[in-house]
Amino acid sequence: MSEFDDEEYESFELDGAGRSAEPVKKTTGSGARGDDDLEDDDDFDESDLEDAADDEIDFVLAAYREDGQPYVQSLGKDLANDLDELIIQLRRLPGDAGALGFVSLVEEVFVITRVRGQHVQVLLSDAAAAADWPIARDVVDYLGEEPIDEDEEEGEPIGDLGIVADLGLSDFDMGAIIDNLDLSSVEMLVEVADKIKLNPQFRKAVEAAVG
């Protein structure tokens, strides 16, 4: 892959808005359970979860490369509560290697989503966050995993740690970033962006979003 050009940057709203080399959790089948499965799973009812408020959403950003140049966009904050809609919006973007979505909540939890055509990868920094945030529970659902008991202190990532391995950040190094408890989720994602050569564009977008 070619290097990013540090002088290219865009920000605008879209319409509507040591670990092993294997992912922490793999998708089963198509990666998402059917509607009947969701209706039968009372423990996975999202009705008891309130959407994250604007002041709880640090940012929702998308990044992609077109003709070798990187672009970073600020997306609507409503996408921080709906993984399906986030995937739809990312699929609309061009990109030599697909589009990446980055969501950070209360500087504690992040979700990375990568969309390449029909191929979707997701990573949630803390599986226990599914007890608190709709998009985190969406990730658990998408992966076909059981929800984490609210009384459990898991603190472990779920999804594909190698989500951007081909862009320069291995699954091992992604795990190391997540394990660094001295970093907020915002700082973690800035570091991820640095490793895959999205900075300074990504950092500028973060600064514009969080002030």
The string of pLDDT tens digits covering residues 158-188 is 999 999 999 999 999 999 999 999 999 999 9
The share of the chain scoring above pLDDT 90, in percent, equals 65
pLDDT of residue 69: 87
189 pLDDT more than 60: yes
| Structure tokens, 14 | 């879209």
| Structure tokens, 124 | 């949630």
- 51: pLDDT confidence band, cut at 50, 70 and 90? very high
Distance CA 70, CA 95 (A): 9
Contact between 128 and 154 (Cβ < 8 Å): yes
pLDDT of residue 26: 36
147 pLDDT more than 90: no
Residue type, 19: R
59 pLDDT more than 90: yes
40 pLDDT more than 70: no
- The SS3 call for residue 97 is coil
What pTM was estimated for this model as a whole?
0.78
